[in-house]
Every structure is written in structure tokens, then in C-alpha cells.
Amino acid sequence: MAGLMTLSRYNLQRRREYEGATGDFTLLISHLALACKIVSREVARAGLLDVLGKTGDQNVQGEQVTKLDVLSNELLIEVLSDLPMVAAVASEEDEQIRITRAGRLTGRYLVCFDPLDGSSNIDVNVTIGTIFSIRKRQTVGAEATTEDFLRAGSEQVAAGYCVYGSSTVFVYSTGDGVDGFTLDPNVGEFVLSHPGMRIPDATTCWSANVGNTRNWLPTTLAFVDKLTSGQGRYAKCSLRYVGTLVADVHRNILQGGVFFYPDDKKSPLGKLRLLYEAHPLAYLVEQAGGKATDGHRRILDIVPDGLHTRVPLVIGNGPDVDLYSALAAAA
């Protein structure tokens, strides 16, 4: 036991560092981790439980909803609804925000999430994940409104994700570095496995859907020319694309790399969503020493104009993200 630093022990120890900490936040993180453990269990036995496949419905994004999308979404909402510190949640799968049961008037926190990222990979046993973002709301005492959620990413007080891969890994930051925990299935707990995650300086891989090349704009094409030039910092740089944003970003944080899903001729705002994907991952990558841009603006400075606003995303090693911005500025 002495050596086993579980997520709850770690949070309790860190709580001691903050004078006046109420414990609310620790409880919130541990409940998000609990929801991720349950999703992990469902993902692991999905093939046995008739939870693979699509529901036949489309979500607010116009995308096919899978049964595991729905299950994860409902599970997260259920777990968060009982927490008195959470006032409301916003999910990629729901058109509107949901006011929680316990914290609707007095809860100080707002939680945004992508319950299951990488839906197209579910049925083929490829890594998927959950992404979350936590903000403090400005006003307490009344029910939260949509506007309360439409704030810059720099106002997040924490963000994290869980990847359901060869092992289940829970990664989060409260603005003081990034730590990763691996689920020990025997103990049923997340155990500290990646303390103080920092993105390595070298860019060992780049990640993008090259199937979209025909639609890419000159900036993106020029960027790919650099990445594949074999020159300078790109002397040895492989293409790796899982097709699950959170898995691609997780790998790039561990090994060094850049991911991009840019605006293109077909999609002027790209594909990814600001509140549920870009903001939390940008927060984590910055905390790990990297950067994230839409080509012109730091992702964390962008204020969404709607709950489901999309945004072009270039995220990873600082020099690569800067190179993309320089090419965009020159275009």
C-alpha cells in the first residue's frame, strides 16, 4: 500500500497544499474518475453486451450516435448530477446544457465533456476516450445558463481525459502540471504512473487525416511539406493517426508530436468542438509545455459563440504549432 499512489490519495495529499480547500474539487475529480472507470468496463465488454453499433439517431452535430456514446453520456450526467458542487453540465451529445439535481442553485462548477471521443473506432476495438473540462461559474445562487459556459478556455480550472486503450489511463491538470494515472484493474483504482507529464522537445510524429488532402488550404499543404521534408527537426518524423483525437494527443504528449484538424475548403471551421475537445486538450498540452492554435489565435483565448462551436485545431510541440501560425500569417 505504501507505494501505491492512487488518484484519491494523491488528491488528498495535494489538497493539503491548498489552504482553505473545501474538498469539493477533490470529490468532483474522483467522481469523474469513477464515471471513467465504469465507461472503461463497458468498453471492455462491449462486444458481449450488445452495446456495439449505432442507435440510428443523429446527435446535435448531425453525426450518427453509437450506443456507447449514449451510455457514456447518461452515465457522466448521472454521476455529476448528485454532486452539490456542480451546477450544470454541457455535453457534446446534447443540444442544451443540463442543470444538475444537487447543485443547481449553489454549485460553483460547470463541467463540459465529450463522453466518448473517437466514436468511429468503437466497433473495431481501437482506442477511444472521454474528455472533460471544468470551469467555475461567475454567478452562484440561480440556475446556470448557456452563457455561463461561453467563456474563454483560459478560465478552465481543470481539464482531463481518460483513454481506453491497451490500458485505461486518466490524465488531468488543475493548472499545476499534468499527471497521468493507470487503472489497476485488480485494485479498481487509478494509480499514479505518469507524474509531471512534459511533451518531449523532439517531434517524432505528426497526425492528421491525410484523406482530406484534396480539401486542404495552402497553409496546411505547406506545413505538411515541412513535416515530410526530412530536414531539421523533421529529420525523422512519422505519420501516426489513430482517428481518436484524445488518443492522438495522448501519444503526442508522451512522445512529442503535432496533431492538426484544420479548416479546409469543405469545412471553414474544421471538425472539432471548442468546448468539449479543443479547450480541454489545449489546457493540458499547454500545461505539458506545448501549444495549441486555430492558426491565428491561441485556442485558450477563444470564446465560443455557441455550445457546439467548432474550431480548427493545431496542437502539440510549441515549435510546430508556431510554424503553422507563421505559415498561416504569411498566407
Q: Which residues bind ligand AHG (CB under 6 A)?
A: 63, 92, 114, 117-120, 209, 243-245, 271
User: CA-based angle 202:132:77, to the nearest 5?
Assistant: 160
Rounded distance between C-alpha atoms, residue 117 and residue 129, angstroms: 5
Binding site partner of 94, from Mn ion, ligand AHG, none, Cβ cut-off 5-8 A by kind: none
User: Of residues 42, 114, 179, 294, which one binds Mn ion by CB under 5 A?
Assistant: 114
User: Strand, coil or helix: what is 142?
Assistant: coil
Query: What one-character-per-residue DSSP string does 112-126 give?
Result: EEEEEE-GGGGGGT-
User: Of residues 65, 111, 117, 254, which one binds Mn ion by CB under 5 A?
Assistant: 117
User: Nine-digit cell at 317?
Assistant: 510541440
Please say whether the dihedral angle defined by the alpha carbons of residues 86, 145, 277 and 153, taken in this order, is positive or negative: negative
Least distance (Å) between residue 121 CB and ligand AHG: 8
Least distance (Å) between residue 290 CB and ligand AHG: 17
Those residues with Cβ within 8 angstroms of residue 145's Cβ, 6 or more apart along the chain or in another chain: 97
Least distance (Å) between residue 168 CB and ligand AHG: 17
Report how far apart the first and last C-alpha atoms of the chain are (Å, whole number). 57
Select 189 or 248, whichever has its Cβ closest to Mn ion: 248
The window from 24-32, 117-125, 182-190, 229-237 that contacts Mn ion (CB under 5 A) reads 117-125
Is residue 91 a contact partner of residue 77, using CB atoms and an 8 Å limit? Answer: yes
Least distance (Å) between residue 205 CB and ligand AHG: 14
Select 248 or 286, whichever has its Cβ closest to Mn ion: 248
Query: Does residue 148 interact with Mn ion by CB under 5 A?
Result: no
Least distance (Å) between residue 254 CB and ligand AHG: 17
Select 87 or 313, whichever has its Cβ closest to ligand AHG: 313
User: Strand, coil or helix: what is 179?
Assistant: strand
Report which of 322, 176, 178 is spatially closest to residue 258, judged by C-alpha positions: 322
> Looking only at residues 64 through 103 of this chain, which bind Mn ion when binding is defined by CB under 5 A?
92
